[in-house]
Amino acid sequence: MFEADPRTAAAAYFRQAYEQQMAGEYQQAIEFYTRSIEAFPTAEAYTFRGWTYSFLGDYNRAIAECLEAIKVDPEFGNPYNDIGAYLIEQGKWEEAIPWLAKAARAKRYEARCYPHFNLGRVYEHKHDWEKAKECYAQAYALEERYLVALAALRRLRAMFN
């Protein structure tokens, strides 16, 4: 269907997968992410396929996909954060911490606010209010358009004023 260059084919399948995912067509998205991986495996394709599985509630499969992403590129931060987020969804709060910490330190990660925010969620759940506030503040400092972090920080500050 696409050019002979595997990277070009993988990128085209990835774009189609993402469009299907955003349209809520999760099975189609999984198929296109799979084609992308078959053409040329990338950490992004594995991570996004995992994200799609998470929309279907299959957190174990989502985590497995992220582990594959890490094998392909251990410096890519998204799968570490995603594993942490999926563990939180499973109620495995403590297990999420090391994954989120790795995401926050990852060399290749543009959305550094997310692991800090997710760590804030963990510490808030554990009633460690100071650490939670620090994490939410860090998330907001990293991305001032991330208003969810600001709202969480303000909510915790208000609880203790």
Q: Is residue 105 part of a domain?
A: no
Whether residue 115 is found in the same domain as residue 91: no
By the 8 A CB rule, do 32 and 17 touch? yes
What pLDDT band is residue 160 in, cutting at 50, 70 and 90?
confident
**Predicted confidence band at 3 (pLDDT cuts at 50, 70, 90)?**
low
Non-local (6+) Cβ contacts of 100 within 8 A are: 80, 81, 84, 115, 118, 119, 122
Decide if 125 is inside a domain: yes
> Does the residue 104 lie in any domain?
no
Cβ-count burial 16-49 (b if 16+ within 10 Å, e if not):
bbbebbeeeebebbbbbbebbbebbbbbbbbbbb
Q: Is 27 in the same domain as 69? A: yes
Read off the tokens for 49: 């396929």
Number of domains in the chain: 2
For residue 161, the model assigns a pLDDT of 75
Q: Does pLDDT of 1 surpass 70?
A: no
Rounded to an integer, the average pLDDT of 48-63 is 98
Give the DSSP letter of residue 107: S
Tens of pLDDT along 121-155? 999 999 999 999 999 999 999 999 999 999 999 99
The token duo for 48 is 């996004």
Residue 146 lies in a domain: yes
Q: Does any domain span residue 103?
A: no
Could you tell me the residue range of the domain that residue 131 belongs to? 111-161
Contact assessment for residue 149 and residue 143, using Cβ atoms and an 8 Å cutoff: yes
Whole-structure pTM over 0.85, yes or no? Answer: yes
Clarify whether residues 94 and 120 are in a common domain: no
Give the model confidence (pLDDT) of 66-101 as tens digits: 999 999 999 999 999 999 999 999 999 999 999 999
Q: Based on the domain organization, do 161 and 123 belong to the same domain?
A: yes
Environment class of 153 (CB within 10 Å of its CB; exposed 0-12, middle 13-18, buried 19+): buried
User: Does residue 139 form part of some domain?
Assistant: yes
